[in-house]
Structure 1
Amino acid sequence: MIKVGIVGGTGYTGVELLRLLTRHPQVELKAITSRKEAGMPVADMFPNLRGWLKLAFSTPEEAGLENCDVVFFATPNGVAMQQTRALLDAGVKVIDLAADFRIKDIAVWEQWYKMEHACPDLVAEAVYGLPEINRASIRGARLIANPGCYPTAVQLGFLPLLEAGAVDTSFLVADAKSGVSGGGRKPETHILFAEAADNFKAYAVGGHRHWPEIKQGLEIFAGKPVGFTFVPHLTPLIRGIHATLYAKVSADIDLQSLFEQRYADEAFVDVMPAGAHPETRSVRGANICRIAVHRPQGGDTVVVLSVIDNLVKGAAGQAVQNMNILFDLPEDTALADVGMLP
């Protein structure tokens, strides 16, 4: 059995990890930490876990994390980098669901996250946990940087086009929409029901922290610098991301076949038939990215539609997928769920 610890178990990604891991046949949950809620049974906070989980929250110091095989950090940015070195030195593998190890350029990370990085040497070692491009490296990693939610949807949508050199890389646009759970479980005015319901708005147009993460990945796929614009929006959904991606076609290529062939062996990417329009509700609760590719009026613009559940393929599900790869388990272990519809 894989002995698992979770640091920061009181947020939405934390409870989603618990939902998935309690059903994992090879996992023994050893600790879920929260300084504020130490001693409280986890199921008292999250009643969906009643009958599935008997653990109580504990402080990180009392949790015995150094005795785990793998520790997930479902914490705010800046927490994992303070504790990861000690865990790695104890032989524990680490999967960070925050952004501490995603961006390789430390100066860029510090610019966007407004803090000094505590362990820049570990950033160089960390493997970016997007299995569709880094599966082999993930398998041998000690430290995995789980991708962000927007970056997962956007990168998977652009990946085949950039690998094939099929589009003009100087002008790539991602118009993306997210449900309110992407903002976390903390109380903030903009995600109150009366603020977010029956409303739709763009935000962070001048610069979102996921922009450098996405741009880093796109430039790796393309093998050169890219021009990239990212505009996020808040929608009155609980779960879901819908990314509409635009690029100019630069090669004579069958785009539908390109996507189908690139993802033919990927269990968690579903390329829909030509002309399809994927919906966020079709992936709710499932660790899958659904993609459709369009070429409106047969012109020189390609439009890719990419949808995920931000808490599953965009966070906790992808983290469990990475754990399965790390421990040489079938990737779909505990992840073979059908999306919840309606």
Structure 2
Amino acid sequence: MPIALKRSSTEGFWWRWLWLTPLVLFIALMAGTAIGETSIPIETIFKVLANQLFGADYAVDRIDAGIIWNYRLSRAIVAACCGTGLALAGVVLQALLRNPLADPYLMGISAGASTGAVAVAVAGVGAGVITLSIGAFAGAGLAFGLVILLAHAASSGTGGGRGIQAAGAIILAGIAGSQLFNALTAFIITKSASAEQARGIMFWLLGNLSGVRWDNVWMAVPAALFGLIICLWHRRALDAFTFGTDSAASMGIAVRPVRGLLITTMALVTAIMVSMVGAIGFVGLVIPHAMRFIVGSRHTRLVPAAALAGAVFLIFSDILSRILVTGQVLPIGVITSLIGAPAFALILIRGTRTR
């Protein structure tokens, strides 16, 4: 009887999400398109969408149509994809490393991706053959590999824990790796970039959606969907990994291939997002914790909840970045940090009190 009740509860959850997710995401995208330096009525947005998607012939001001279609809508979609990808990366890293502080930003993945992208864009690494995304992925993989090796060496040397499962060693290694690759990024910019390039890159490194267009949408949407599908497909494996690799192996999970696939997927997704919008902190750290309070720790619920919450969070952070200071657009990384740091402090305090 309890098993039947659990199954019916899970099925009910899936049906609720099936109907709720598109509605919530649609409302967030419409808000991201309507709200900005100049507010645009929802009716105008629908007319522009009808003209572009279905060949309708509604009379719409050309300036409004350009703002909606060429600027805000594509920007909102990419923001949603980045939020989804970073939140999923946080969920996966926290499960695989069994560390509540693991996320792409703290683990050095974002810093490595930034270094790879800057090396390609500014230093000319690859001589035009390597794209920004490939450079970012290479940097992300290199950074994460270095962090894991350093954590393994530190925990083995002190006798504290088994390899990369030593939580303190992982975080300290992540901080060291982040600082190293941030320093490499600054060195490349100082050595190879002009003054104008340096200003643009430093703004981009804080998270910038201003240059996002439809070309980026066609890259961001498949990346986010791919990451979501991989996480959903391995949701039971992620549940098992939260109890350790031995528990996962006892359940018949091929630990190394599955772990390698998940880490590679999340590094790739993070690299693609960073190559488009720069490094954005706190999304992969705060969103998974917040969703655990709401839907629990089972990844059947946590993965889709974190994906949706990350998308909505980054869309509304982008809205704030455009309207908080009149006549100026703030880097979105500033907004996510201003919101994420206090939110994470509250989650940390609440989690400590409930133990």
Q: TM-score range by the shorter chain?
A: under 0.3
Structure having the higher helix fraction is 2
TM-score normalised by the chain length of structure 1: 0.27
Structure with higher RCO (Cα < 8 A, 6+ apart): 2
TM-score (norm: length of structure 2): 0.26
Larger radius of gyration: 2
More strand by share: 1
